[in-house]
Every structure is written in C-alpha cells, then in structure tokens.
Amino acid sequence: MNTDIRVSRTSNAAKVAAVLGALIVVILIAAPYWAGRADLRLMGEVFLYLALASLWNLLAGYAGLVSVGQQAYVGFGGYMLFALTIFAGLPPLVAIALAGVLGALISIPVAALIFRLRGAYFAIGTWVVAEVFRLVFAQVSALGGGSGTSLPTDIVRSMAADRSAREALSYWLALGAALIVVTAVYLLLRSRKGLALTAIRDNELASASLGIDIWRTKFFVYVVTSGLTAVIGALIFLQKLRISPDAAFSVNDWTAFVIFIVVIGGIGTIEGPIIGTLVFFLLRETLADLGTIYLMVLGLVAIVVMLKAPHGIWGFIRHRFNLQLFPLGYRVVIADHTKGD
Amino acid sequence: MDFVNAVVQGILLGGLYALFAAGLSLIFGVMRLVNIAHGDLIVLAAYLGLTTTVVLGVHPLVALIVVVPVMAGIGYVLQRGVLNHTLGDDILPPLLVTFGLSVIIQNALLEGYSADPQKMDAGVLETASVALGPLSLGLLPLLTFAIAVAVIAALQWTFYRTPLGRAFRATSDNQDIAQLMGLNKRHVFGLAMALALAVTAVAGILLGIRTSFDPSVGGGRLIFGFEAVIIGGLGNLWGTLVGGVILGVAQTVGATINPGWQLLAGHIAFLVILAVRPNGLFPRISG
C-alpha cells in the first residue's frame, strides 16, 4: 500500500466555482452597459439584500446572536448619510464610509447593554433598541421628524454628471458592497477568529472549555456586523433618495425578509444567503402582484423550511452532493497511488 | 397635579401591559418559548372581538365569551401542530417559526380587514369616570387594572394550587422526568399555550375598546409585554404586573413632559432597569 494522505482546504468544485464566480462578477460589473434601467435598479436591490443577509448570517448563524433588531443599524446608516451630507456638507461617498464607522461606534454601548439578555430575550432586546433609534430620529425635526426628508438635489447632482451615470454609480456601489461583505465574511471565517466562531456555532460549551473567549468573540462580530450594516443602510437610502423613520427602521423590510432569506437559503453557510436572496427575489418578482398573499406565502415557506429542512436549500445540496463552494472546512484527501493492487 | 394624574393613569395603563405580558411570561415559564407572534395574536383577538360584536350585536365584554375559548383553541392547535416541533436546545427554530407566524397573521388580517384602523364600541364604558378627590379616573382603565389583577391572581392560583399547575411546574423543571411520571409534555405545552392565548384574548378585547388598532400594531404590543416581563423578572407573575405598572408610569409621565416622548420614555425606563438590574426586579428563574 502506498497512500499519500494530505489535508486539503480546496476542492475541484471550489476551483470551478471561483472561476465561474469571477466570470459572473465581470459580467455584473459591466451591467450598466447591457442592462436596462429597471433591471439595474432591481439588481442593485438584490446586492444590498445579499449583503444584509450575509451579515445577519454571520451574526446569527455563526456567532449565535439571533438579532431581530438589525434595522436599527440600517436606519442609523441611512440617517447618517442624510445628516452628514446635509449638515456637514460631506460628499456622499465619504458620508457612507463615515456612517459605517459611526454605526460600529454606537453598537459598542448597545452591545454592552443587550448582551445581558440571553437567547430569545436578546432577540427582542435588539428590537427594543431599534425602536429607540426610530423614536429618537422621529424627534429630530431638522431631518423631517416623523414624516422624513428627501436628499437635496444638489447633493444628488454632486455624485455624477447625469442621471444614467448616477444610477450606474449607485449600482456599482451596491455590487461593490455585496462583494466586500461576502469576501469579508469569507476571510473572517478562514481566519483564527473564524475558527473560534465556527467552534462557537457548533458547541458553545466545548469551545469555551478550549479557551475561546466567547463574550469577546461575539462582541467583535456584533460591532463589525453593525458597522457594515450601517454602510448598507446608507447605500439603501442613497438608492431611495428619501428617508422616514418608519421606512428606515422597518422590522419587516430589514429583518423579517433578511431572516427568511437566510433560513430558506441555509443558515450557517456562506452560500446560503446567496441562494436565499435569489429565491427571495424570484418569489417576489413572480408573486408581487398578489400583495399580502405573497408575504403570507413567504412566511409559510420560511416556517416549513425551518421545520422540515432546518439547514435550508444549501444545507440540502451540501449534504446530498458533499459540496462546498467557499472552501472553509478541511478535508482529508487520500491519493492512492497503487490502484489495482 | 398633572404629575400625580400622570402617575395614576400610568399605573392603570400598566394593568393592560401586564395583560400583554402575562401570556408571554406563562409560556416562557413553562417551555422557555419566546413567542414573537404574541403581539399579533393580541391584535388577532381584538379583530375576533370586533367581528363578534358586529355579527352578534353584543357588547365587547360579552364577546369575551366567544373570543376567549376560540383563542384558547387556536393556542392548543398551534402548539401541538407547529410550536411543539420547534422546541429544543436551539433557540433559532421557535424564534423563526413565530416570526413567520407573525408575518402570516399580520398579512392575513390585512387581507381580511384592510389597513384601516378599527375600534370596538363599548358605549358608556368608554367615557364613564369616577371622581377620586381632585382626580378623575376612567371606568375602563380602572376595570382593566382590576381584570389584570384578577387574571394574574387566577394564573398564580392555577400555577401553585391545581393539578394543572403542578403539571406546568413539573414539565418546566424537568421535561423528561415529568414525562416519566406520566405527563404528556406535548399536551401540557398545548394547555399552557391555550391558557396563555385565553389571557391574550382578554388583553386584545381591552386593547380594542381602549384604542383604535390596525394589523400592524402587534409588534409594539409584543415589545411592551416583553419589557414588562423583563422589568418584573422572568417567571414572576406578580413581578410582571409591577413591570407593567413601571412601564405604564414611565410612558404617561414621559408624555406629560413632551407628547413625543411617551414611547421613548417607556423604552428608556426598560433599558435603565436592564443596565442596573439585568435580571429584573424580582427574578424567579434564570433565562
């Protein structure tokens, strides 16, 4: 017997996926030159939802922080974009980046407070925080109070010369944000911290006994996720050009849908949110005319998936075909040179 | 004087919040389940009450005779049909499934009743008041508070003085051993949810008489109930009443200072108590 045993991270499927992924990204970057205006807008929305879903998946699927209050940071980021451009006169791109920094900063005291709650009570605690954010911003009359405000036209014009250039820029920002988020999540999970996170996901008690500081790891993930969510929030409202407290801090738009996306796609995997986002928009575009019925179907699908296939669509595929497109795990490869013996 | 009035009105409002919270507290105590759809179930009860009063032409309080058993039935079926399958060590399934339920209930109500605000007509009960020195207390808030005290006393009695309560406490302490002792935990959980939704029915009708409601208000009611539970301390029913009262007083006092601060003041009171006493004021069990 002459067997060569090695430990490998990558696989042929992952290599093919990487090449295909790069190809798709190139095609998507060129979208403003081949896609219509409505399609461009829809695709921008898809990317922003993909980013939100990937972030929530990192938070809930890996760090075990099941938050139903991430709309706090979506809304916060959106309002920061408006406040920083209108009052401080900052260019929108600078304001978006700064919104992320501020979002991360404000999430520090929030985390210190709500990390006292455990499990499901943590979830509702995050919702309370989001409500506080909504009510506070509704009190700021300079930002339109309860009825909201629009982004002034001179700020919108300062971004790009004409409307189509502006729409292309907005699209590229959304695509860039989604790529950055997915890549960041992937790199984080491949790092030392990611190993700790995966261990926490699989067994909190066991990972604590191996010396992982659970509180600090979760705190780190919460702050990073919140900052990035604020960036996405700023981009969402850059696309909408109008903000109001109810839209900015909507639990349905920014949390319920995002959770459904992650659950349907497959929680605790990088591929899951991508598939979930595609399924979500496919459902939305085909059933949107049904209005409320569509949302009931969505809720029902999420419940059925949770009960019957808790690992979602990707969990099913991975289990069935032993596939991993983003190589995170290690696998033992046994190359048998003496075949036929 | 405004201030004293605000405090008294807040105490009475706290009764309603304690009713929102009692069902949450009960099911958390028995099966460690946090029901995100709780607020939407309160709103569902209000709509059922509305339909009953319209169809049968009865007073909203009489509608309780219909709505309470219907909600209890829904609770039992929901628990045995869906929620029992989500219970376990992982908190994600119950959370996500009740989140899904919340979206379904909300949109079903939207489909059935439209987004227009509705209100139940309770006749003179809405405007009648009792003079207490310089204060004027509405009969409805007084009645609500009295009902809240009665409901919590009844739940407390059920929990500690009846065979059903013994079954609740036994399954809460150790599900497997309770099962060995001949209790069917799935049935016990079903009964607990039925009882919780019966209380929810009372809360929903009183909500529907007091203010107008629409399908979207459930989330807010869930949060008030949740805050009352946490302020009072997990698993403590009388603590929940105190929690509701603290929340109610914070809101009415906040509203006297600035009308826009009503809800904000309640949430801030909750966050302050969370910062100072993370386990609430009178904790019985740890989360």
Among A158-162, B43-47, B76-80, where is mean pLDDT lowest? A158-162
The complex scores an ipTM of 0.87
Which range marks the domain in which residue A208 is found?
3-336
Q: Is B92 in Cβ contact with A113 (below 8 Å)?
A: no
Place of tokens 């006292």: A116
Dist. CA B126–CA B121, nearest whole Å: 8
Taking the model in full, what pTM does it have?
Answer: 0.90
Query: How many distinct structural domains can be found in chain A?
Result: 1
* A295 contact residues in B (CB cutoff 8 A): 103-104, 106-107
What average pLDDT does the segment B203-218 reach?
Answer: 94
- Cβ-contact A324, A280 below 8 angstroms: no
Those of residues 199-258 in B touching chain A at CB distance below 8 A are 219-220, 222-223, 226-227, 230, 234
Predicted pLDDT at A341: 41
Taking alpha carbons only, the member of A190, A225, A246, A188 closest to residue A52 is: A225
Alpha-carbon span A59 to A75, nearest angstrom: 18
- CATH no. for B2-276: 1.10.3470
Strands (E), chain B: 129-132, 135-138
Please enumerate in sequence order all residues whose Cβ is within 8 A of that of A170, keeping only pairs 6 or more positions apart, or say none. A44, A235, A238, A239
CA angle A78, A277, A249 (to 5 degrees): 25
- B2 min Cα distance to partner chain A (Å): 23
The b-or-e profile of A58-87 (16+ CB within 10 A means b, else e) is bbbbbbbbbbbbbbbbbbbbbbbbbbbbbe
Closest to B230 measured CA to CA, from B172, B274, B264, B170? B274
| Residue-level pLDDT at A335 | 67
The mean pLDDT value for A91-108 works out to 95
CATH for A7 = 1.10.3470
Mean pLDDT value across residues A148-161: 83
Task: Provide, as residue numbers in chain B, all residues whose Cβ is less than 8 Å from the Cβ of A128.
Answer: 223, 226-227, 267, 270-271
A131 to B110: CB separation less than 8 angstroms, yes or no: no
* Average pLDDT over every residue of A181-189: 91
SS3 A149: strand
Residue A341 placed within a domain: no
Q: Is residue A20 pLDDT above 60, yes or no?
A: yes
Task: Name the more confident of B36 and B133.
Answer: B36
| A302 interface with B at CB cutoff 8 Å | yes
Confidence of residue B269 (pLDDT cuts 50, 70, 90): very high
Does A252 contact chain B (CB < 8 Å)? yes
What percentage of chain B exceeds 70 in pLDDT? 99
- Cβ pair B82:A303 closer than 8 A: yes
User: A303-327 pLDDT, tens per residue?
Assistant: 999 898 888 888 888 877 777 777 7
Please identify which residue in the block is written with the tokens 């009489």.
B62
CA distances from A27 to A18, A31, B25 (A): 14, 6, 53
B8 touches chain A (CB under 8 A): no
Instruction: Specify if A147 maps to a domain.
Output: yes
Model confidence band, residue A337 (pLDDT cutoffs 50, 70, 90)? low
- Are the beta carbons of B267 and A132 separated by less than 8 Å? yes
- At residue A145, what is the residue type? G
∠ CA A118-B222-A109, nearest 5°, is 45
Which pLDDT score, from 0 to 100, does residue A340 have? Answer: 43
Q: Which long-range contacts (CB under 8 A, 24 or more apart) does A26-31 make?
A: A28/A175, A29/A172, A29/A175, A31/A171, A31/A175
